[in-house]
Structure 1
Amino acid sequence: MKLIGSLCAVVFCSFLAFCKPTQEKKDRVHHAKELSNQPHDDGNHQYDHEAFLGKEEAKTFDQLTPEESKERLGKIAERIDRDKDGFIIHEELKDWIKHTQNRYIYENVERHWRDYDSNNDDKVSWEEYKNTTYGYNMDEDLHDAEDKHSYKKMLARDERRFKKADKDGDMIATREEFTAFLHPEEFDYMKDLVVTETIEDMDKNGDGFVQLEEYIGDLYTPESGEPEPDWVKTEREQFKEFRDMNKDGKMDRNEISHWILPGEYDPVEAESKHLIYESDTNRDEKLTKQEILDNWNMFVGSQATNYGEDLTRKHDEL
């Protein structure tokens, strides 16, 4: 994907593979994703299954016998216990749930990893990413001054984001760091940069704030003579009533963070606490592998327990 030709060619060829280009105009609010569409109640553990395993993996476990489910669950419990001290604490369980819910992101990165890891060392350096995405000779390949300026601006923005994602500062990204680079909204240590990039996208007059018209302009470009739709009028009221919390006519950094990164409720946090509370028999606020296995049907379950031996035989035949 060397940088040859027009601006559009590179944008569509290089960036669309990763779904989230840094320059893309998008829905600004990063909503907390629902862990499952199932009802969350004590009589139905399907919500817990999909939260703990991910929706697709939960379907796989549904086809297992109770014995197979328990065996696989035991192995998962060992993986969750990262420090191998025999206990699963809230943070370890929370990280596991977050990882399963973001599995599609990691799979997307994995699919394209070789495109960037040109020397096959299982890491992606800044130079590898830059050369793959922008090409080796940008000044030679781009003759239009406006295109060249746009690309240099995009390059600088990507480099800043890469440095932020690169925790150890060696400008060589592990898979985890590269995932944070591509999907910064999913990583707490990247969220401050998400706010910065949002301001840069919306702040047209360069004063460091987002005015009402800048906010509306990011959402809606009117056609000549077209009356303003009702939803735009509603957005104007939303800005005045809720976005601009101190009523000074503009959004500052804190107000933008509050808007695009709503943090009042974290479903991953809540589910981790719920699973521990329901399974922690000795009330030490952490789980052992045995405590998880004792409450296995809450974590993984099996349709065989509901539909009997007929399903088990059908699975064995397969």
Structure 2
Amino acid sequence: MDTIVEADVKPFIQVTEVWVPKDGILELAAGSYGDLAEFEEASRRTSFAKGEGLPGKAWAEQRPVVLKGFDGSYFKRTEAAAEAGLTAAVAIPVFARKELKAVLVVLCGDDENRTGAIEIWAEQDGLLMLDDGYYGAARHFEWVSQHTHFPKGQGLPGGVWSAQAPMLFRDLGSGYRFIRADSAGKAGLTTGLGLPISVPGGVTYVLTLLSARGTPIAHRFEMWDARAERVGAEPSAVLADGICAREGALWTGEAEPEKRIKAWHGLIGRALGTGVPVVESGMPALTAGYDTMVALPIHKDGTVSHVVAWYV
């Protein structure tokens, strides 16, 4: 990623929302909308029953869902999305075993300069195949991805599958570990974040977020490890990996002093304590210099094993 954060860089993701179940419906708990005030207002007036709209579909089908066109679809806020220039969305359900904790929804616009990737990989016959994805202007990379599959342990999706833990890849265009390096380099993709998505029924899903310099998904990524073998009995998490456009690597190895966050302390601690994604915009609690922060808890066997955060 670039060594500085450029003020005029447009983010790949324009809206991020957290929908939580309450009395049998999904209600908006938090969101980051930038200057899309009318779409925010429409969202605050909306709720979703199970199976209704994009969040409700992810809840009912117990899987991540990609929607690359709103017209004529089950998307409920089509008119408001069109006025805001939003054209695609991804819904990621957050389950603790069979309990739905929340649905994280990200929405993007489509133009000739907006490049990045949000991919859903699903296990099929012993391989991870592309279930669906949104790529913006990265059309060739999308085609390559549709014709690529991963055995356990190979590439970013296969590595996440094998480890059952988040992974962060740097220098996608030149990294030998990234199977699609050549096409990633041509698309300008630089950083890849892979996340295991736990759903009832044991189906394997991996979410990958691939960030480009010109329209980054985030300027800063952090991976916090909350597994008992790493932190002991105390409900806390330690920084396991991270990268920042300004600072470079945020964690360089076991010799570095441990960075630890306790449950309920700060935004990362809130995601760890509640098991629910956190989205904050323009708050003093954010790391200086960022407008929006998203913290996504990763559940394994009913507890939070990791918290992954990104900052824009």
Higher relative contact order (CA 8 A, sep 6+): 1
Of Structure 1 and Structure 2, the greater strand share is in 2
Q: Which TM-score band applies after superposition, normalised by the shorter structure?
A: under 0.3
Look at both structures and tell me which one has the larger radius of gyration over its CA atoms.
1
Normalising by structure 1, what TM-score? 0.25
